[in-house]
């Protein structure tokens, strides 16, 4: 049994014992001293509280013996309660529980957030990027050394738990989440998380890390929308630095983490005013209104069109990829 659970059990046991002694005291005085219920309860509370008021009426021999036993029992009970509370506070469990409840209350109110399973190297990068875009996220982590890092960062909402456990995902708000990213070290664990998450939320976008090529198809079949293999990306990135270094640096500058330096964004058609829906890109006239340029379009069928024609219709479910200077992007965000 975990230490925290053991201490809390001691406190619950002490409360039950106190209620039990009160019950025994009331019954004892009712039968031994012929008190009515109110007088018996009054006498019992006097004894347990040790305030020293006079008894309701003189006690006979049996009632006095019973009272002595009640007093000694209450002293032992107070000692037990005091030790349990002292141990509870000294182990910082009270403050930890209050903090846990506060965080859990925040998480329970979230909708459309992102759950990140695992706070290792990839998980930290994902969380940093989400925070830079002001996207609410919840981290699920079970390793103590990584939990220490999370505890020191008040900006990150997190829960301690095994992401492969359905209960941990439920506490993280999987039913209301819009995205889930699983970056656990084991492909088998990631597969289990994807299966569980997809079962609990059919519309959630799931992105999984994979180490082996053989895991890619399995994760896709399990319900992952995207599967990322960091080793392949890293190798491809290094090769690009040799083949097209200037192009790669330019693309990286477009996707800097700092929000105030972002130069490229995606614009859902649903976010546009109703008069622009089912109109063309030319009707939107982003270039004149904000200085930004449309460089791509993701259709409702998830097809990508690079440099779309101005007569392309803006259908619901599609997204525009827009590029511009930081101040132009801010102007665009102000328009819609």
CATH topology of domain 111-228: Rossmann fold (3.40.50)
Rg of the chain on CA atoms, in Å: 32
pLDDT, greater one: 207 or 9: 207
CATH for 3-91, options being 1.10.3720.10, 3.20.20.70, 3.40.640.10, 1.10.287.70: 1.10.287.70
Confidence bin at 260 (pLDDT 50/70/90):
low
pLDDT at 231 over 60: yes
> What is the value of pTM for the model shown?
0.61
Runs of H (alpha helix) within the chain: 3-32, 37-49, 61-90, 93-108, 121-132, 144-152, 166-171, 187-200, 213-222, 230-243, 245-254, 281-284, 286-290, 326-335
Beta-carbon count within 10 A of 256 CB = 14
Task: Please state the domain extents for the chain.
Answer: 3-91, 111-228, 263-335
pLDDT, greater one: 139 or 270: 139
- Phi, psi (degrees; rounded to nearest 5) at 14: -65, -40
With a pLDDT cut of 70, the percent of the chain lying above it is: 88
Give the strand pairing for 157-160 and 137-141. Answer: parallel
pLDDT of residue 97: 63
CB 317 within 8 A of CB 300: yes
Measured between alpha carbons, how far is 122 from 207 in angstroms, rounded to an integer? 12
Q: Please tell me if the domain spanning 3-91 has the same topology as the one spanning 111-228.
A: no
pLDDT tens digits, one per residue of 177-222: 999 999 999 999 999 999 999 999 999 999 999 988 889 899 999 9
The CATH H-level superfamily of 263-335 is: Regulator of K+ conductance, C-terminal domain (3.30.70.1450)
pLDDT tens digits, one per residue of 49-101: 776 666 677 778 888 888 888 888 888 887 777 777 776 666 555 566 666 67
């Amino acid at each position: 049994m975990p230490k925290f659970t053991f201490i809390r059990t001691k406190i619950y046991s002490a409360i039950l014992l106190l209620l039990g002694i009160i019950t025994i005291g009331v019954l004892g005085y009712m039968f031994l001293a012929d008190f009515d219920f109110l007088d018996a309860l009054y006498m019992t509370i006097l004894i347990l509280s040790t305030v020293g008021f006079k008894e309701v009426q003189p006690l006979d021999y049996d009632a006095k013996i019973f009272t002595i036993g009640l007093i000694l029992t209450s002293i032992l009970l107070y000692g037990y309660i005091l030790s349990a509370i002292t141990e509870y506070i000294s182990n910082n469990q009270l403050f930890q529980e209050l903090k846990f409840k506060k965080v859990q209350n925040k998480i329970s109110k979230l909708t459309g957030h992102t759950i990140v399973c695992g706070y290792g190297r990839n998980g930290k990068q994902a969380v940093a990027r989400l925070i830079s875009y002001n996207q609410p996220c919840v981290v699920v982590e079970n390793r103590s050394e990584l939990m220490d890092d999370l505890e020191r960062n008040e900006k990150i909402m997190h829960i301690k738990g095994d992401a492969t456990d359905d209960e941990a995902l439920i506490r993280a708000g999987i039913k209301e989440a819009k995205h889930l990213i699983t970056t656990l070290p084991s492909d088998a664990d990631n597969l289990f998380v994807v299966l569980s998450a997809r079962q609990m939320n059919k519309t959630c976008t799931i992105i999984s890390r994979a180490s082996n090529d053989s895991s890619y198809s399995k994760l896709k079949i399990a319900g992952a929308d995207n599967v990322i293999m960091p080793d392949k990306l890293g190798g491809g990135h290094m090769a690009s630095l040799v083949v097209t270094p200037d192009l790669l640096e330019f693309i990286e500058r477009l996707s800097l983490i700092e929000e105030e330096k972002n130069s490229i964004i995606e614009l859902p058609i649903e976010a546009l005013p109703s008069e622009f829906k089912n109109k063309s890109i030319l009707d939107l006239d982003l270039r004149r209104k904000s200085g930004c340029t449309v460089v791509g379009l993701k259709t409702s069928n998830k097809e990508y069109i690079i440099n779309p024609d101005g007569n392309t219709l803006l259908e619901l479910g599609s997204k525009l990829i827009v590029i511009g200077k930081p101040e132009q992007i801010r102007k665009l965000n102000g328009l819609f």
